[in-house]
Amino acid sequence: MDSNPSNQYVGNFLTITPNDSQEIGINEPIILQFAAPVDANIIEDNLVIINQNAISNIEYIDGKKMEHSDMNSMMSDGTMMAHLKENHCIKGTFEWNSDNTKCQFMPDSGFEADTDYMVFMDSQVMNHMKSIMTERKMMSRGMGMKDCDCHKKGPDNSNIITHFRTRGN
């Protein structure tokens, strides 16, 4: 993998490709581009990619169905997140460049065609990135994520959430 940041980097700390409802092929990777080196273990341990159709069928512990409109609050629940990571998270391989600024994630079995997916990273990733930005005096750049309307929580948002869809190829 190329160790130089790619041209898709637009001045924010993190760029995720695909993002915000973009479409990709079923055998294309998820690409994470960081403005500075990160701890690969923190990113890998906290990156969750889930088929959104599977999420809508999950029963919460108290019997409440998890709907897309309350997904962010459910994702903030540690018990639910542990369940999703263990039982519903897409498994795959991470490939990092030499300076830990770019990562490709390839699912072990590819993605399902014509399916919506969610990419989620929790507060551990956000705190890690904020720490790096503070150390490097990069805070004016911003975190670089545009949450979709159903996930906007305001300035205290501590999760990173984006969506993509696979094409039928």
Q: Where are the domains of the chain?
A: 14-166
Structural contact between residues 164 and 22, judged by C-beta atoms closer than 8 angstroms: yes
Q: How many CB atoms lie within 10 A of CB 137?
A: 8
Q: What was the pLDDT predicted at 152?
A: 44
The residue that leads in pLDDT, 120 or 4, is 120
What pLDDT score does 68 carry?
52
- Residue 44, H or E segment: helix 40-46
**Nearest Cα to 46, choosing from 94, 5, 13?**
94
Kindly tell me if the per-residue pLDDT of 73 is higher than 50.
Answer: yes
In this structure, the dihedral spanned by the alpha carbons of residues 136, 139, 144 and 149, taken in order and rounded to 10 degrees, is 150
Average pLDDT over residues 81-105: 89
pLDDT of residue 84: 76
At 145 the pLDDT is 42
Q: Would you place residue 120 in the very low, low, confident or very high pLDDT band (cuts 50, 70, 90)? A: confident
Note the pLDDT tens digit of each residue in 129-167. Answer: 888 888 877 755 444 444 444 444 444 456 777 889 999
Residue 60, both tokens? 């919460």
Read off the pLDDT of residues 24-54 as tens digits, 9 standing for 90 and up. Answer: 999 999 999 998 899 999 999 989 898 877 7
- The tokens describing 80, both together, are 């639910």
Q: Please work out, in degrees rounded to the nearest 5, the angle formed at the alpha carbon of residue 46 by the alpha carbons of 14 and 167.
A: 70
* Region 14-166: CATH code: 2.60.40.3710
Q: Residue 36 and residue 14: Cα distance in Å, rounded?
A: 9
pTM above 0.75, yes or no: no
